[in-house]
Amino acid sequence: MLELRNNERRRREAKRRFRENLPLLSLFVPVLLFYFIFKYVPMLGSVMAFKNYNFTDGILHSPWTGLGNFEVLFSNPQTLNIIRNTLVLSVLNIVIGFPIPILLAVLLNEVRKQWFKKWVQTLVYLPHFFSWVIVGGIVVTMFAEQNGIINALLERLTGKTFSFLYNETSWISIFLGSGIWKEAGFSTIIFLAAITGINPSLYEAASMDGASKWRQIIHITLPGISATIVLLLILQMGNVMSVGFDPVYVLQNSGVYNVSEVISTYIYKVGIQGGQFSLTSAMGLFESVVGFVLVFSANLVARRFGRGLW
């Protein structure tokens, strides 16, 4: 009898809380609609990867081809090169670009002059708001062989110029550097916010024990933001097969096609411009499946250290 009364009391309490929070829950409805309409509904279009799609028959009535699109896709030597380029650029971006915002956040946290800290935060965060068209224009202005600022200085010093944007090695370096310059500030803000959540008494106790700044960073700061680091790293792993269309397309040219053609640019050129929608749908589905496996695997590894997302 007492258990029934407790269950009834809990149900009434749950209904009361639901009514009280109904205005807040209603604010969540547009978010649900956005993800449902623009994220989940388009997944139905993945069926084109298994069909010979044409505009006349539409998605539902186009003839089935089974795994035919995948066979055509992976029998093309160009496909393996595209996947390789995507993986190389993504892995380099993670290995080189991911630690930099952490380093910036740790360094800014040690700055005691607030005016200097605010100026640096503004300067590193500002490029995040630039479109890749603007960033591409800045890169071309700096590294162009004919009128670029860097080559103008090289010509004065050595009498020679260098094709930065047409050399494969230098193009990869410029691509990675421009991406880090543009997005490092945004991630730095996230890590700085995580650092502010660390209890200041830990630093005080470590200082009283004679710990240097380096030891405080190693034993307090980094462990304190480890959950945020793991979270962003897992999310980054989901984008390993998706370098991004804008940065590659803006900086790409025919001279570095062998290292710059990635999945996103291939889908645009072959799918949208070439009209081979089924073939590029197969490529897109492959990209999504690999991304899902990588996120799931990264979370599985993180769970072993008590940092998993689910």
Residue 290 near residue 269 (C-beta atoms within 8 A): no
pLDDT at 64 over 70: yes
Q: How many Å is the Cα radius of gyration of the chain?
A: 25
The answer to whether the beta carbons of residues 267 and 283 sit under 8 Å apart is yes
Q: What is the spatial distance between Cα 299 and Cα 221, in angstroms, rounded to a whole number?
A: 22
Residue 305 pLDDT more than 90? no
Q: Residue 65: helix, strand or coil by DSSP?
A: coil
Band (1; pLDDT cuts 50, 70, 90): low
Instruction: Give per-residue pLDDT as tens, 164-177.
Output: 999 999 999 999 99
> Residue 56 pLDDT > 90, yes or no?
no
Distances (CA, A) of 80 to 90, 188, 244, 273: 15, 35, 18, 21
Reading phi first (left if > 0) and then psi (alpha if -120 to 50, else beta), residue 159 is in left
For the stretch 66-119, pLDDT in tens is 889 999 888 888 888 999 999 999 999 999 999 999 999 999 988 888 888 889
Cα–chain center distance at 70: 26
CATH ID of 69-304, from 3.10.20.600, 1.10.357.10, 1.10.3720.10, 3.20.20.120: 1.10.3720.10
**Residue 155 pLDDT exceeds 80:** yes
Type of residue numbered 186: F
Structure tokens at 112: 């005691």
Q: Which residue has the higher pLDDT, 6 or 288?
A: 288
| Residues whose CB falls within 8 Å of the CB of residue 257, separated by 6 or more in sequence, listed in order | none
Phi and psi at 217, nearest 5°, equal -65, -45
Q: What is the mean pLDDT of the segment spanning 167-192? A: 92
Average pLDDT, the chain: 88
Using DSSP's 3-state secondary structure scheme, residue 5 falls into helix
List the chain domain ranges.
Answer: 1-50, 69-304
pLDDT band at residue 178 under the 50/70/90 scheme:
very high
